[in-house]
Structure 1
């Protein structure tokens, strides 16, 4: 299988505009993410896909692989689908540009989902982390996922799912991390399918896959890292980087 990593990188972000170009101990966040992904040595190629000339110039400056998006997109899946449409590739791993702590073991687990799926039943795979903090479970910025017995995703939500009506039931809560691995065809299908109501309501692109019957295999990781969504996250990332 030919496996590549793609890093969608928008400059604007509603909660933290320009976050990917913020300094993270000497280098921009997007540069840290790109270098961490390359250094895993898991991919035939690593490519940043951006709508920003600033980000484009930064990745070019470090001799990285980068391309400009041809048009505006509502989500990262759309952006990388456009980029891979004409590429000869089997598996595309989507690494978020604000995930500078992306590391080898978690990505290996995602890739192994497809290596262990000879009948090609799984359309995409993604990461999750077990969470226990009640405030984090309630936080709408923390996306939760519920699973079937085979660790296939049943639903993603910003709400606490499942709802703890009986607190004596030993329910595990999982936080969805925005790192995906796709079969190329699943990605292209997503690109051409219109948005439906669940995705529109929760503003979660992964729901489009479920609404159209795609199978998402969830893989547990113990690596929390820091997703940089706010200035406070960036400060935490700086401390963790040291």
Structure 2
């Protein structure tokens, strides 16, 4: 069966304000032909973000492939060294947008939940645990995600027009 599209983009429901440039950046991960899955990440710029469990962190290798995703601080840094590590751009957060080769979707959908996925409550760990490679691209946009009810009020305040 011939696929109608080469790449499928999935914007997670908790990321209602993805920028169009971010979609283009994600799709560009597939231009070389060697990516099967891709997602976006952003450098963490505030030390306070490290301990936010609703903000998944990402560790990448030298080529930009994801090594691990976690709700915990990874890699571990002693508290007194965290500010410097953030300043050096050593931490990344995950942005809830994925790209997949269309031909790979049935295979991914058939995978059962994995141990790490269940522990961290992060679906992308299922793919890593089953040997799939996830390409990452670094976005410079700061996204507004809706992870907890308090986030709704913050987003509404940003987009409310005052008279």
TM-score computed with the length of structure 1 as normaliser:
0.59
8 Å contact kept, 2:57–2:72: yes
**Which residue of 2 is the match for residue 141 of structure 1?**
54
How many residue pairs were aligned?
155
Task: Compute the displacement of 1:201 (Å).
Answer: 0.9
Deviation at 1:87, TM superposition (A): 6.1
List structure 1 segments (4+ residues) > 6 angstroms apart after TM superposition. none
Matching residue within 187, 193, 197 for 2:115: 197
Higher relative contact order (CA 8 A, sep 6+): 2
5+ residue gaps, structure 1? 1-84
Given the alignment, which residue of 103, 108, 127 partners 2:24? 108
Unaligned runs of 5+ in 2: none
Partner SS state of residue 69, structure 2: strand
Match of 1:157 among 63, 67, 70: 70
Partner in structure 1 of residue 90 of structure 2: 172
1:211 pairs with 2:118 = no
Describe the SS at the equivalent of 2:73: coil
The 10-residue stretch of structure 1 (166-175 or 230-239) with the greater mean CA deviation from structure 2: 166-175
What is the distance in 2 between the residues matched to 1:99 and 1:155?
21
1: distance between equivalents of 2:47 and 2:131?
31
Q: Distance in 2 between matches of 1:171 and 1:220?
A: 11
Equivalent residue for 1:227? 145
- TM-score normalised by L of structure 2: 0.85
RMSD: 2.1
Q: Secondary structure at the match of 1:114?
A: coil
Q: Name which one, 1 or 2, has greater alpha-carbon Rg.
A: 1
